[in-house]
Structure 1
Amino acid sequence: MLHAALYGDGDDQAVILTYAWDRLLIDPVPGPRGPDDFTGLEPITPAVWQVPAEARPIAPAGSTLPRLAAELPHTFALIDPRQGAEGVTRQLEELIGYLEPESIDLLDVGGDALARGDEPTLKSPLADALTLAACSQVNAPIRLLIAGPGLDGELPLDDLKGTLGPLVHTFTPKDVDPISSVLEWHPSEATGMLAATARGVRGTCEVRDAGLPIPLTDEGPTVHEVDLDEALSRNELARAIMATTALDQVEALSREVCGFSEIDYERNKALWLKDQRPLNLDTETLLPQLDQFEAEARGRGITHTTFRHLTEVLNLDGTQRDALRRLLINSRPEQYAAPLWGIMAASSHHTSRTP
């Protein structure tokens, strides 16, 4: 979406270097995946591996990257964080040397790359700090872009406004349309809200297992440039981990700087999820539970939510998310504010249709 908006949708497609780090609903194994967690990867350089459509995560791990590679025209390459910031820096340097790209953009949806590290709303600083630390050590011009400021629920929009640089782009429905099919299944809540705001959706969206309220405003579909050095000067964790050579070191410094490691949170949640017994996808059972959730959400001022959040609220397994989505859209199509779920006023009447 960003590549087409900024560079056009011609023959030159992007190489996207990214983590294989999905939520536990997709990947029940805590933390990011490395090359050893996949079959079918293809080497690009000695340290960088491409994730083609034919690649598969090795059970019990899961990953959305192979399906993204199958449905999008770009090349997806895997960030391997196991050797810390020095390892990611080496991967970047090898890839840049091999590709000789015309431009390099570091994209963060939401803006937690700009966190100091002590913000009470900060939940997952590690991945962004690691890439920021690596990019700051590469001998090549890299542009830091923040899309959908505040949409990840990590830093409030008001806290970000003073740090954002010039406006680069504002997404529109035309930008979103080519990836609509991906948004139907991909679990990223921040990207889903980014797309929804680009389509004109406004209100307050409740996300994540904790039920964070995220304002959907006119700032939602914007992309801003931020000076990378200024971001590094703000991000204490990124500065602290620049010389790390192992993910364990990065985690230890995250606990020291931020007071926690999000991988610890995933470990604890994974243990909790093992003891949960998901409900059956039964309309007669689920719809009354949905009605109760929506009534309570309206009382909190919530106008929208995500299917990921609904999956957790309704005590369903991550593998049931797509089935839940189909069931709800078939039952109450008027509430589908693609790719979000709209929470209608109490006086609204639901209509039903059979699948």
Structure 2
Amino acid sequence: MRRLLIAAGGGGDAITAALLHSALYGADTPALVLTYAWERLVVDPVPGPRGAGDFTGLDAVAPGVDLITAGTAPLAPAGSLLPRLAAGLRPRLGLLDPHGGTLGLARQIAAAAAWCQAGRVDLVDVGGDIVARGDEPTLRSPLGDALALAACAAAALPTTVYVAGPGLDNEIPLPLLLPRLGAPALGLESRHTDGVLPLFDWHPSEASALLVAAARGARGVCGTRDAPAPLTLDDTARHVHRLTLEQALDLNPLARRLAGCGGLAGAEAVSEAVCGFSEIARERARAAALPADVPRPREPADAAALTARFAEWERRTAAQGLTHVTSRRIAEELELSPPEALTLFGALRRDPARPPAAPLWRLLAD
């Protein structure tokens, strides 16, 4: 028997699902986390989610249940961090393929529950867009969460919805979000994060990194990449809120409208009608705007040059009132290649003057 959890938005939500599984049931309890292969263009340059046909090496353990392993690989030109994530997480990872819409996802969830011998489902979202109304001006990616919520309802399995780290995805402002969630059910602690902390040496998820940092005691004002405003890390950021499936559906008009949807194109059209946009269409537009030429590799800068560049950037950034930043923001704003990022972060970790704040970075003000 295994616990069955669903990462509502894919990507970093799979890490949060594993973190919450450890807090709720203990890290050694067998579990399966179902997740989308729907990753940012920096990871997967092909817009939209990937399906089972976009991978080799999936472990088909039962009809409709495809597990992602360390030996799974995306078919070019697609990319995916899920095989590497599968190697680093304690729970097993299973692929959620949304191309069959709500009804196709419901069949996958039911099949996974049967394989796990699980009588219920835990649906996990980091940030809170699973309870979006659709008209929030900062909302960016509601479709995956809404599809997962609608699919759990269609699968007719007892489902608990967990929202971890309210507001950490920068999609719904806290004054709007917290009244929808009610009182927190639990607070994550440092001991719950041990199994996932090493993943942030390479995984770009910022919302999950903020959640882990908050659980480990980080407090302050954090800057993420391409966000409308900095995020405040206080005790709220480590909280987990519990809702019934019915409560979450009542709060999410998009999920209710997706009931009975039989394909991804139809789900896109529903998102356009309810929210006024399709995030897949936005991804297509961003992908089309990417430069066609692959940049020529350059000789990586050495540690001394990188730390000097970082020190100047750090002074400017700390002057904005930020106390912490994510690894992804550093790498993108300094335009670091992966080897340069490894070199810089290694040098920063060895600096005895820099307080530990993993998986974030504490800025040193003058």
- Supply the RMSD in Å over aligned alpha carbons: 2.4
Q: Does 1:344 pair with 2:361?
A: no
**Closer, same or farther in 2 for the Cα pair 1:55/1:321, shift >3 Å?**
farther
Q: 1:286 deviation in Å?
A: 4.6
**Closer, same or farther in 2 for the Cα pair 1:92/1:22, shift >3 Å?**
same
Report matched runs for 1:13-28 at 5 Å. 13-28=30-45
**Closer, same or farther in 2 for the Cα pair 1:102/1:23, shift >3 Å?**
same
Q: Does 1:158 pair with 2:158?
A: no
Q: Structure 2: 5+ residue runs without aligned partners?
A: 1-18
* 1:3 alignment partner in structure 2: 21
Match of 2:212 among 195, 214, 217: 195
The count of corresponding residues between Structure 1 and Structure 2 is 345
Q: 1:275 deviation in Å?
A: 5.3
Say which SS state the counterpart of residue 326 (structure 1) adopts.
Answer: helix
Q: Structure 1: 5+ residue runs without aligned partners?
A: 348-355
**Closer, same or farther in 2 for the Cα pair 1:80/1:328, shift >3 Å?**
same
Q: Is the 8 A contact 1:26 1:319 kept in 2?
A: no
* 1:39 alignment partner in structure 2: 56
Give the Cα–Cα distance (whole angstroms) in 1 for the partners of residues 39 and 104 of structure 2.
21
**Closer, same or farther in 2 for the Cα pair 1:219/1:30, shift >3 Å?**
same
**Closer, same or farther in 2 for the Cα pair 1:211/1:282, shift >3 Å?**
farther
Give the Cα–Cα distance (whole angstroms) in 2 for the partners of residues 129 and 5 of structure 1.
25
**Closer, same or farther in 2 for the Cα pair 1:91/1:167, shift >3 Å?**
same
Q: 1:250 deviation in Å?
A: 1.4
Q: 1:321 deviation in Å?
A: 4.9
**Closer, same or farther in 2 for the Cα pair 1:288/1:120, shift >3 Å?**
farther
- Deviations, residues 218-253 of structure 1 (Å, cap 9, x unaligned): 011111101221221221211222222221221222
**Closer, same or farther in 2 for the Cα pair 1:228/1:96, shift >3 Å?**
same
**Closer, same or farther in 2 for the Cα pair 1:195/1:58, shift >3 Å?**
same
- Of all paired residues, the percent bearing the same amino acid is 44
Match of 1:174 among 175, 178, 191: 191
Task: State the 4+ residue runs in structure 1 displaced beyond 6 angstroms.
Answer: none
Q: 1:160 deviation in Å?
A: 1.7
* 1:59 alignment partner in structure 2: 76
Q: Is the 8 A contact 2:68 2:94 kept in 1?
A: yes
Q: Is the 8 A contact 2:159 2:244 kept in 1?
A: no
* 1:101 alignment partner in structure 2: 118
* 1:305 alignment partner in structure 2: 325
**Closer, same or farther in 2 for the Cα pair 1:320/1:30, shift >3 Å?**
farther
Which sits farther off after the overlay, 250-259 or 83-92? 250-259
* 2:6 alignment partner in structure 1: none
Report matched runs for 1:65-104 at 5 Å. 65-104=82-121
Which sits farther off after the overlay, 69-78 or 262-271? 262-271
- Deviations, residues 287-321 of structure 1 (Å, cap 9, x unaligned): 45534543443343222111112222223457865
- Deviations, residues 17-71 of structure 1 (Å, cap 9, x unaligned): 1111222222222221111111100113322211112111122222222122212
**Closer, same or farther in 2 for the Cα pair 1:104/1:270, shift >3 Å?**
same
* 1:268 alignment partner in structure 2: 285
Code of the aligned partner of 2:190: P
Give the Cα–Cα distance (whole angstroms) in 2 for the partners of residues 121 and 253 of structure 1.
19
Say which SS state the counterpart of residue 196 (structure 2) adopts.
Answer: helix
Give the Cα–Cα distance (whole angstroms) in 2 for the partners of residues 317 and 272 of structure 1.
21
TM-score (norm 1): 0.88
Q: 1:324 deviation in Å?
A: 5.0
* 1:204 alignment partner in structure 2: 221
Q: 1:167 deviation in Å?
A: 2.9
Q: 1:108 deviation in Å?
A: 0.5
Q: Is the 8 A contact 1:16 1:74 kept in 2?
A: yes
* 1:243 alignment partner in structure 2: 260
Code of the aligned partner of 2:301: D
Give the Cα–Cα distance (whole angstroms) in 2 for the partners of residues 158 and 279 of structure 1.
46
Q: 1:103 deviation in Å?
A: 3.7
Code of the aligned partner of 2:121: I
Q: Is the 8 A contact 1:26 1:318 kept in 2?
A: no
TM-score (norm 2): 0.86
* 2:240 alignment partner in structure 1: 223
Report matched runs for 1:96-175 at 5 Å. 96-175=113-192
